[in-house]
C-alpha cells in the first residue's frame, strides 16, 4: 500500500524533461528537516491509502507512458510499496522519473530516472551521500544568497556539471521572472544547466498543475 496525496495529468514543468506530457503521482509525507519554503506543504500530511494495482490502473487509464513520481518525499515509501510500483511500471514499459530531496538514500536497483534536489537548511546540506552517487541529475534551487554554497557543494563532491541544474528560487511568477537572468548568467559562468519552473511561469501559484 502507498499513501497518495494526488495524481493528475499535466506537463513536466521542471528539469531535464521540461515540457514533456506526464502523469503525476504525488505521494504523501516528507522526512525532516522540513523546508520552510516548501511549496507542497499540503502533501506533508497523511493522504489516501492506495494499492499498487490501483495506481497501475490509473496510469493505464491516463494513456500516458511517462510518469513522474514526486512528493513530499516519495522514496520514504520505497519499502512499503514503491519498489513494487517501480518494478510494475518498468515491466509495463512505462518510463518513470522520480523527484527526491535525497534525504533518504536512493535505493539500489531503482529503475526510474532520479532527479535529486538537495536541500540547504541552517547552513547544512541535507542529502545522503548514497543519493549523490545514484542520482541521474541534481537540481538546486538557486538565488543570490545560495549560489556560492551550491558552487562549493558541486566542487566539493566533484559533480559532473552535465548533471547539475539550477532552478531559480521563487514560488510566484514575478519572482521566477525577476531571478531568471541572474541564474541564467550564473549557469553560463559555471557550465550548469538551467531549469526554470514552467508551471509557475504559466499558472503562477495555482496548484495541481
Ligand atoms: S524536501 Fe521537498 S517536499 Fe520535503 S519539505 Fe523540502 S521542499 Fe517540501
Distance CA 121, CA 112 (A): 27
CATH number reported for the structural domain that contains residue 67 in this entry: 3.20.20.70
70 located within any domain: yes
Give the pLDDT confidence of 6-59 residue by residue, as tens digits.
999 999 999 999 999 999 999 999 999 999 989 889 999 989 999 999 999 999
What stretch of H or E contains 2? Answer: strand 2-11
Beta partners for 10?
22
Give the pLDDT confidence of 137-158 residue by residue, as tens digits.
999 999 999 999 999 999 999 9
pLDDT tier at 207 (50, 70, 90 boundaries)?
confident
pLDDT tier at 88 (50, 70, 90 boundaries)?
very high
156 located within any domain: yes
Q: Which three cell numbers stand for residue 27?
A: 505521494
Residue 31 Cβ inside 6 Å of ligand 1? The answer reads no
Residue 13 Cβ inside 6 Å of ligand 1? The answer reads no
The total of structural domains in the chain comes to 1
From the list 126, 155, 128, the residue with the least C-alpha distance to 141 is 126
Q: Which three cell numbers stand for residue 173?
A: 511568477
For 10, the domain range is: 2-203
Based on its alpha-carbon atoms, the radius of gyration of the chain, rounded to whole angstroms, reads: 16
209 located within any domain: no
Amino acid at each position: 500500500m502507498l499513501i497518495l496525496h494526488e495524481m493528475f495529468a499535466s506537463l513536466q514543468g521542471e528539469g531535464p524533461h521540461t515540457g514533456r506530457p506526464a502523469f503525476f503521482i504525488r505521494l504523501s509525507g516528507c522526512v525532516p528537516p522540513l523546508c520552510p519554503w516548501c511549496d507542497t506543504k499540503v502533501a506533508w500530511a497523511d493522504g489516501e491509502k492506495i494499492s499498487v494495482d490501483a495506481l497501475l490502473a490509473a496510469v493505464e487509464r491516463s494513456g500516458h507512458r511517462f510518469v513522474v513520481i514526486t512528493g513530499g518525499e516519495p522514496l520514504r515509501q520505497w519499502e512499503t510499496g514503491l519498489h513494487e510500483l517501480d518494478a510494475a511500471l518498468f515491466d509495463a514499459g512505462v518510463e518513470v522519473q522520480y523527484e527526491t530531496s535525497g534525504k533518504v538514500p536512493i535505493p539500489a536497483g531503482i529503475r526510474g530516472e532520479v532527479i535529486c534536489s538537495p536541500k540547504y537548511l541552517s547552513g547544512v546540506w541535507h542529502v545522503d551521500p548514497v543519493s549523490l552517487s545514484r542520482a541521474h541529475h541534481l537540481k538546486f534551487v538557486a538565488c543570490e544568497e545560495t549560489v556560492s554554497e551550491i558552487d562549493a557543494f558541486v566542487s566539493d563532491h566533484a559533480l559532473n556539471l552535465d548533471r547539475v541544474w539550477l532552478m531559480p528560487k521563487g514560488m510566484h511568477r514575478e519572482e521566477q521572472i525577476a531571478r531568471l537572468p541572474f541564474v541564467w548568467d550564473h549557469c553560463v559562468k559555471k557550465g550548469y544547466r538551467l531549469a526554470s519552473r514552467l508551471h509557475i511561469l504559466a499558472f503562477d501559484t495555482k496548484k495541481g498543475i
